[in-house]
Amino acid sequence: MPLTATDNHAVAQAVHDIGSALWFGGTVMGVAGVNKSGSDLRDGIDRIRVAESAWGRFGPVQWLGIGATLLAGAQLARVGGRRMALQKGFGTVGAVKAGLAVAGAAASAYAAYCGSRIGRLAEEAHRRGDTVEVRDATIPTSRTPSEIARWQRRQRLTQYVVPVLAGANIACGSYLVQSYRMGATGRGVLRRLLPD
């Protein structure tokens, strides 16, 4: 049975929403759980290793969610092209949503890079026989080597930014889905035809 344009839209919306949920939920769990879980371990190097291992295992799944969000979002934009032209506000929110998705993907990549830097620096310090003391994967102590502490602060900040961007992307998607209701469509078209 061939897919209709409506079916294609529904599939793209489902893929987009599942990808966004995976991306948002996984990053929140990582910040709230993975990064903190290492604090139960005795040695700072192990606190970093546990978090790095967990984030490394989640990485491919997270990028699957990000990819689904971006690709399905592009499909939804293509399908809603006429609506962007006719319905006031739809195109603006769509552009903001696309910008949030790209910024979130870039922030996710930077957070992963920060994590790899922390892991590499911690392993180098450990091989030299230096003590690597950290509170958890992203929180240094006063005795954490300065370069590791700098990358921890960067990663912690970026890891808080990622779910904010992913969540804002989801919120924009909800707005756009609600814009498909008949009343919202009619108001949007009238606002386009009869500007303030």
- pLDDT tens track for 81-93: 666 666 677 778 8
| pLDDT at res. 184 | 46
Measured CA to CA, the distance from residue 192 to residue 126 in angstroms comes to 63
| pLDDT at res. 185 | 47
Instruction: Name residues of the chain where pLDDT drops below 70.
Output: 1-8, 81-87, 179-196
- Cα-atom radius of gyration of the chain, to the nearest Å? 21
* Spatial CA neighbour of 140 closest among 114, 109, 162, 102: 114
| pLDDT at res. 187 | 54
Residues in CB range of 73: below 8 A, 6 or more apart: 16, 97, 98, 101, 173
One-letter identity of residue 48: I
Q: Which residue has the tokens 């992307």?
A: 169
Residues in CB range of 137: below 8 A, 6 or more apart: 34, 35, 36, 38, 47, 48, 50, 51, 52, 115, 118, 152
Measured CA to CA, the distance from residue 154 to residue 77 in angstroms comes to 33
Against a cut of 0.95, is the pTM above it? no
| pLDDT at res. 9 | 78
| pLDDT at res. 4 | 53
CA distances from 6 to 3, 76, 79, 115, 150 (A): 8, 11, 9, 42, 50
3-state secondary structure of 90: helix
Torsion angle of C-alpha atoms 58, 63, 69, 74, degrees rounded to 10: -170
| pLDDT at res. 89 | 73
